[in-house]
Amino acid sequence: MSQSADISLKKDPTMRNWAIIIAVALIIWFMPTPEGLTLKGQHLLALFVATIVGFVLAPVPMGPMALLSLSLCALVGVAPIKELLVGFSNTTTWLVVCAFFLARGFLKTGLARRISLMIVKAIGSSTLKLGYAMAFSDLFFGPVMPSITARGGAIVYPIISGLCEVFDSKPGASARKIGAYLLQVEHHATCIVSAMFVTAMASNPLAVAFASEIAGVEITWMGWCIAAIVPGTVCILVMPYLLYKIYPPELKETPEAPKMAREELAVMGPLSKGEKVMSGVFVGCLALWITGSMTGISATTVAILAAAFLLVSATLTWKDCLNDNGAWDLCVWLSVIISLATLMGKYGVVGWIADSAGGMIAGIDWLPALVIIALIYVYSHYMFASLTSHITAFYAPLLAVAVGAGAPVMLAALVLGFLGNVCGSLTHYSSGPAPILFGAGYIDQGTWWKFGILFTTINVVIWLGVGSVWWKVLGLY
Amino acid sequence: MSQSADISLKKDPTMRNWAIIIAVALIIWFMPTPEGLTLKGQHLLALFVATIVGFVLAPVPMGPMALLSLSLCALVGVAPIKELLVGFSNTTTWLVVCAFFLARGFLKTGLARRISLMIVKAIGSSTLKLGYAMAFSDLFFGPVMPSITARGGAIVYPIISGLCEVFDSKPGASARKIGAYLLQVEHHATCIVSAMFVTAMASNPLAVAFASEIAGVEITWMGWCIAAIVPGTVCILVMPYLLYKIYPPELKETPEAPKMAREELAVMGPLSKGEKVMSGVFVGCLALWITGSMTGISATTVAILAAAFLLVSATLTWKDCLNDNGAWDLCVWLSVIISLATLMGKYGVVGWIADSAGGMIAGIDWLPALVIIALIYVYSHYMFASLTSHITAFYAPLLAVAVGAGAPVMLAALVLGFLGNVCGSLTHYSSGPAPILFGAGYIDQGTWWKFGILFTTINVVIWLGVGSVWWKVLGLY
């Protein structure tokens, strides 16, 4: 037993990964303190970088890594435990935790499925229109569903499966009938939607928190939404059509689709009480989020109130919320990273990074610098198997470089915030739902990657092109 | 359908409870502002009291009630949401959340069962000694197991069941053989143990937080333990013997018990890797907690590190932790109450309560005042079906009264902290495991209540009597 355990240890990358993480921590800890950095700042940097390397290599999930990092920071005296826990009070963390509960309400009441079916029934009479139906379904749930996997995997994917069955499109010879097209549409759509709302992807709050702690700008729910709405909408409108032209489905007309949707809606019967409450909460949430800057009501307050209302009305049980592992997982790792980022600002580490970065790219104008930074950010995602670890590792340093180059801070923070999602289109492992959609087996890896780089590039061009005009209008630069 | 729903609404106490909660909030909100209280303080008081009434009447569990309260406080402008979330950064909250994870490690690895069996094997040769074995088992796990229900219900109760089977003691004629005695012992033991460590009951941190926010004293893990260890140990030593005398089991000698334990231990085999790691973490935790004042390492840091270590060593999976509903439940309701209590201090509401209370009992010496307050606190527990709601509702105001009467603050905070657990002996619904132990059916309600008041009173006398000598030695007054 112990012998075979020893052998397996040698083959297991876990030990190697731990060795790398520890080495990173030790090297930064013991290197000669660079000019402009305090010793305490250096120690914090060592643990921060090691934590992020730990998130990426993931010998344990992010939660345990975060707890380990937190306790070590306190143990070695980088900061008192009290200060290390401040991230748990972050408003954006609790905004997204409560959005997880709202998403659960959508799934539990069946309203998510009903709305998707209603969209198919309304506009699904051709394959192209079905493509738009999938994209619009995803868009519809974007504002209140931070789990991209829930949107792509739990809501839209089952509808696509149902449609494939109706039209007898299966992996293999009949894949191109409609299945391959619809799966590709959803793969790209969910990444575009993720970029459009703070609450559309679990790690967007991380960008918000980094922007606040590292660059000193406060991105509100509405601020993000307004800046994203024009380029995001253009992407959502262009992508299904373009894909239809270059990767046409064999079947063009789908009159059976609205029929299937109608039948399934008939089976579901009239709106249940839970669905009605959920609809009201959804509309109320959106209304209060959109009018937040006028009413002065924080998006977090709205989300917590909405969750409380679902619980009080018994639409959700508290057990449903406690069982939502994704919410509590996020609560832990996100809070710890926010705590560390806050300390990085406080100890002057961020200033030191920005100064160093500024020196590195001295003489380059901020606009080409920001574009280069954006492209590095997007295409480096080939190396990552999760949007979150990519954002955790690259968002803050690249933002520091952009700010160091003189880019308008809010603009840079938002652009990197958006693009950290857009890059999810790249591969079959680049986002939460990607392995699910790819794993359905309708599309080979070569095709997936080809369209991955194509649509990522098209989307980046739209975000930066259309976006730059829109952001000028908004006065972001 | 909707008709029967209407009828059930009328009978359901939920609506009546909500009406009471809302009425409480409105009355305090709109009453003429008392002298010494600001309008903002009055509004906070209204929502705080309504929340606590909500915890007690519980039309929804504490979590949803806390979220509702939090969002309403922000919505009506009592405080910005940022300040309302500060409780989530509280160190004691995370100490206990991580203690939940340690407890899970004890249960998952089987070490909890093994240790209980080892105690039975070592000392269980008579029924009296078995009584002590149950009490000591509970005491053993006290420091790292904040779920009293896990200790009483998941560890000790199954051992008692096993013993009852061996000795053929069943509800009814053979109940008094050994079952009734052992169940009573455990019922009282678990409440005594709960009083002995901050981490032995999920709501003890609430007392710590109230003491900090309301009375301005910081109770450390070790400070609580030292003050409790002498009276707690006396109670644990006296109770099984006294119960043996006044409620004697019919069977006196139990040579089969160590035999059963030996057999079951043989079935378990040697210590697994997980059990070894768990033992090490347990010893390490205790050592670091006990030496905390010397090393300066916070108890919270130790608990987080211990949890991280269990996760990194794969003794626990992160999924195990995320599935620990008790931990996340506590995280939410405790944090919200701590936030509100913090604001109560900040807005001068606490000062106002203490002044008013001081006026009410002007002229009474602090010592008799504290004794009266302690007795009110203990015996009011007849009205409560949970230790937590009792502590939430009564700890803070009674502490304010005690402080107003001039009692030494740390002494009063600790005494109320201890007695909030001791009162769990009173009834068959007064603590988490009480319904489980009573529900086994060995003891009728009259007997249960008789011993409830008897042992509660004996324990109170020991805590206040022996305790007062010990606390004098410690210099607490």
In a domain, B333, yes or no: no
- Greatest Cα-to-Cα distance within chain B, rounded to the nearest angstrom: 71
- Split into its structural domains, chain A has a count of 3
Which parts of chain B have pLDDT scores under 70?
A: 1-11
In a domain, B341, yes or no: no
Cα of B17 to nearest chain A Cα, Å: 12
> A88, B94: Cβ pair inside 8 Å?
yes
In a domain, B342, yes or no: no
In a domain, A330, yes or no: no
Cα of B477 to nearest chain A Cα, Å: 29
Question: Are both A215 and A225 inside the same structural domain?
Answer: yes
Q: Six-digit token pair at B432?
A: 């988490």
A2 CB-contact burial (10 Å; exposed 0-12 / middle 13-18 / buried 19+): exposed
Confidence (pLDDT) at A1: 36
- Greatest Cα-to-Cα distance within chain A, rounded to the nearest angstrom: 71
pLDDT class for A354, splitting at 50, 70, 90? confident
> A328, B322: Cβ pair inside 8 Å?
yes
Task: Find the mean pLDDT for residues A15-22.
Answer: 96
Question: Are both B52 and B160 inside the same structural domain?
Answer: no
Confidence (pLDDT) at B389: 86
Question: Are both A394 and A477 inside the same structural domain?
Answer: yes
Confidence (pLDDT) at A42: 96
Cα of B272 to nearest chain A Cα, Å: 12
In a domain, B409, yes or no: yes
What is the 3-state secondary structure of A445-469? HHHHHHHHHHHHHHHHHHHHHHHHH
Question: Are both A229 and A375 inside the same structural domain?
Answer: yes
Confidence (pLDDT) at B10: 53
Within 263-282 of A, beta carbons closer than 8 Å to B belong to none
Q: What is the DSSP letter of B325?
A: H
B277: Cβ contacts below 8 Å, ≥ 6 apart: B109, B309, B310, B313, B315
Q: What is the mean pLDDT of chain A?
A: 92
The whole model's pTM is what? Answer: 0.88
Question: Are both B437 and B303 inside the same structural domain?
Answer: no
Provide φ and ψ at A243, rounded to 5°. Answer: -65, -35
Contact A381, A74 (CB under 8 A): no
In a domain, A427, yes or no: yes
Confidence (pLDDT) at A360: 75
Say yes or no to pLDDT of A361 above 80: no
> A74, B304: Cβ pair inside 8 Å?
yes
> A91, B70: Cβ pair inside 8 Å?
no
Mind listing the pLDDT tens digit for each residue in A372-419? 999 999 999 998 888 988 998 889 989 988 988 889 999 999 999 999
Q: Six-digit token pair at A159?
A: 């509808």
Nearest to B301 among A74, A297, A304 (CB): A74
In a domain, A322, yes or no: no
Question: Are both B394 and B472 inside the same structural domain?
Answer: yes
Question: Are both B75 and B223 inside the same structural domain?
Answer: no
The percent of residues in chain A predicted with pLDDT above 90, rounded, is 77
Range of the domain at A279: 87-110+272-316
Closest CA to B424 of B437, B413, B405: B437
Say yes or no to pLDDT of A346 above 70: yes
Nearest to A311 among B64, B80, B309 (CB): B64
Question: Are both A165 and A295 inside the same structural domain?
Answer: no
Cα of B125 to nearest chain A Cα, Å: 38
Q: Six-digit token pair at A298?
A: 């924080």
> A319, B325: Cβ pair inside 8 Å?
yes
Confidence (pLDDT) at A11: 64
Say yes or no to pLDDT of A443 above 50: yes
Find which of B17, B70, B304, B311 to mutate to test the A interface (most A CBs within 10 Å of its CB). Answer: B304
Nearest to B322 among A81, A90, A325 (CB): A325
Confidence (pLDDT) at A158: 87
B8: Cβ contacts below 8 Å, ≥ 6 apart: none
Question: Are both B473 and B376 inside the same structural domain?
Answer: yes
In a domain, A321, yes or no: no
Inform me whether the C-beta atom of residue B89 falls under 8 Å from chain A C-beta atoms: yes
Of the ranges A158-172, A301-315, B170-184, which one carries the lowest mean pLDDT score?
A: A158-172
Q: What is the ipTM of this complex?
A: 0.87
Within 297-326 of B, beta carbons closer than 8 Å to A belong to 297-298, 300-302, 304-305, 307-309, 311-312, 318-319, 321-323, 325
Say which amino acid occupies A243. Answer: L
Q: How many beta-carbon pairs under 8 angstroms link A with B?
A: 131
Confidence (pLDDT) at B195: 97
Confidence (pLDDT) at A4: 42
Chain A residues within an 8 Å CB radius of B308: 64, 67-68, 70-71
Q: Six-digit token pair at B305?
A: 């590190």
Task: Find the mean pLDDT for residues A75-85.
Answer: 95
Inform me whether the C-beta atom of residue B64 falls under 8 Å from chain A C-beta atoms: yes
Nearest-CA residue of chain A relative to B68?
A: A308
Chain A residues within an 8 Å CB radius of B87: 89
Q: How far is CA A320 from CA A144, A311, B70, in A?
A: 17, 9, 20
Q: How far is CA B469 from CA B10, B188, B399, B450, B460, in A?
A: 55, 23, 21, 29, 14
Say yes or no to pLDDT of A367 above 60: yes
Question: Are both A118 and A242 inside the same structural domain?
Answer: yes
Inform me whether the C-beta atom of residue B51 falls under 8 Å from chain A C-beta atoms: no
C-alpha A124/C-alpha B315 separation (Å) is 51
> B71, A308: Cβ pair inside 8 Å?
yes
Question: Are both A224 and A358 inside the same structural domain?
Answer: yes
Question: Are both B296 and B419 inside the same structural domain?
Answer: no
Mind listing the pLDDT tens digit for each residue in B86-127? 999 999 889 989 999 998 998 899 998 999 899 999 999 999
